[in-house]
Amino acid sequence: MKLDALTTEMVPLAGVLTAVAFRRSSRAAKISLRIDPGFDGILITLPIRVSRRAGLSLLSQHEQWAADKLAALPRPLRFAAGVAVPVGGVAHVIEPVPAGRGGAWIEPGRILVTGGEEFLARRVADCLKRLARQRLTAIAAEKAVEAGAKIHAVRIKDTRTRWGSCAPDGTLAFCWRLICAPDFVQDYVVAHEVAHLRHMNHGRHFWALTERLTPHRETASAWLTGNGLELLRLG
Ligand SMILES: [Zn+2]
């Protein structure tokens, strides 16, 4: 999430100064509080005519809950030399190649990154996004044939609240961070969204098709529940 698109302020939360970001939404019917793993803070969504003060008042009623949630976030894993990043669930160590050319690329067990240190994190992220686009698009194309469905486009985003989505025009979107998850998780998330090309709901027919497209529904859902936050703390 881009913080500059929002207004933020520092608010004491159970004794710790904490970043609170405000967002206005014409679709929000009431104030909502969310822990944002992308920036170690709280995101408050306000309906159009509700004040920031009202948002802060709701936060103060849930102060301990929010403080506990923040404290329980996994530690961030910044992309830096020597750090092991999961790709398809397998550790890959970031290795700088300062004199090399060609951005960043992946070899078994390592991510090689050329150029200055100041560009390293960005290059690793770009490399993972490229890989996410290739792999998730390929999996989706295969499953769409199986489902007898047509994909309009596949987009790769940095979504924080959902791993994938399917628009009525047939555009599928996936969070690039999925490329870090094990292959069976990628397989399930893509199958789920491809099944939405045929059924725009979570009804019986939708789940029957999803299960025809992937054997991993249960295990992948459990994996995302247990480990999804860690993906959001990468980079
Ligand atoms: Zn769904």
Who's near 49: CB < 8 A, 6+ residues apart? none
pLDDT at 159 (0 to 100):
84
Q: What is the 99 CA–ligand 1 centroid distance (Å)?
A: 45
162 Cα: distance to centroid of ligand 1 (angstroms)? 9
Q: What is the pLDDT of residue 6?
A: 61
Beta bridge partners of 22: 7, 44
Superfamily name with CATH number, domain 130-232: Metalloproteases ("zincins"), catalytic domain (3.30.2010.10)
User: What's the 171 CA to ligand 1 centre distance in angstroms?
Assistant: 14
227 close to 37: Cβ distance less than 8 angstroms:
no
How do strand 90-97 and strand 84-87 relate by DSSP bridges? antiparallel
Higher pLDDT: 230 or 95? It is 95
Which residues is 164 bridged to in the sheet?
Answer: 174
Residue 98 pLDDT: 87
E strands within the chain? 7-13, 16-25, 32-36, 41-47, 84-87, 90-97, 104-107, 110-114, 153-157, 164-166, 171-175
Residue 206 Cα to ligand 1 midpoint, Å, equals 9
Q: Residue 22, class by beta-carbon neighbours within 10 Å (0-12 exposed, 13-18 middle, 19+ buried)?
A: middle
Percent of the chain whose predicted confidence (pLDDT) is above 90: 71
- Whether the per-residue pLDDT at 2 is higher than 80: the answer is no
Whole-model pTM: value is 0.80
State in Å: Cα 114 to ligand 1 middle: 39
What is residue 146's predicted lDDT score, i.e. its pLDDT?
98
Ligand 1 centroid–CA 193 distance in Å is 6
What is d(CA 209, CA 142) in angstroms, rounded to the nearest whole number?
A: 14
Residue 184's identity, in one-letter code, is F
Cα 187 to ligand 1 centre (Å) = 14
Domain-wise residue ranges, the chain: 3-71, 84-125, 130-232
Residue 232 — very low, low, confident or very high, per pLDDT cuts 50/70/90?
confident
Arithmetic mean of pLDDT, 123-137:
97
Render pLDDT for 169-210 as a digit per residue (tens, 0 to 9): 999 999 999 999 999 999 999 999 999 999 999 999 999 999
Dihedral Cα 19, 128, 183, 153, nearest 10 deg: 90
